[in-house]
Copies of this chain bind each other. A is one copy, B any other.
Amino acid sequence: MNKIIEQTALIGGGVIGGGWAARLLLNGIDVKVFDPASSAERTLQEMLVNAELAYSKLTMAPLVKQGKIEFVDSIEEAVKNVDFIQESAPENPELKRDILREIEQYASESALICSSTSGIKPTTLQSEMKHPERFMVGHPFNPVYLLPLVEICGGEKTTAAAKQSAAEFYRNIGMKPLILRKEIDAFIADRLLEAVWREGLWLIRDDVATTEELDDAIRFGFGLRWAQMGLFETYRVAGGQAGMQHFISQFGPTLSWPWTKLMDVPELNEELIEKIVSQSDAQSGKYSIRKLERIRDDNLVAIMQGLKLNDWGAGAVLKEYEERLYEKAHSEIVASEPDLSKPLALFEAKVLPDWLDYNGHMTESRYLQVFGDATDAFLNFIGMDENYRKQGFSVYTVETHIRHLQEVAGGEPLLVETQLLGFDEKRLRIIHKLLHVPSGNVLATGEHMLLHVNTTAGGACTFGKILYEKLAEIWQGHQNLTAPEFVGNGIMNLI
Contact = CB atoms under 8 A, between A and B. Distances in A.
B321 A59 contact: yes
B142 A238 contact: yes
Interface in A204-233: 204-233
Contacts of A336: none
Nearest to A230: B215
B195 A241 contact: no
Nearest to A188: B217
Counted per complex, copies of this chain come to 2
Interface residues of A, number: 205
Interface in A275-292: 275-276, 279-280, 282-283, 290
B350 A60 contact: yes
B310 A59 contact: no
Nearest to A366: B365
B494 A57 contact: no
B313 A229 contact: yes
Interface string A3-18: 0000000000011000
A191 interface: yes
A218 B199 contact: no
B293 A299 contact: no
Contact of A326 (B54, B61, B231, B369): B61
A412 B283 CA distance: 36
A471 to B, nearest CB: 11
A279 B488 contact: no
A283 B212 contact: yes
Nearest to A275: B204
Contacts of A296: 143
A412 B83 CA distance: 33
B195 A196 contact: yes
A363 interface: yes
B50 A294 contact: yes
A306 B356 CA distance: 11
B232 A265 contact: no
Interface stretch (A102-110, A157-165, A179-187): A179-187
Contact of A297 (B143, B205, B261, B307): B143
The 6 closest A-B pairs by CB, nearest first: A215-B230, A302-B306, A223-B226, A149-B221, A262-B262, A422-B494
12 contacts: A52-B350, A189-B222, A191-B259, A219-B230, A222-B226, A228-B313, A303-B303, A306-B353, A396-B407, A422-B493, A448-B491, A487-B490
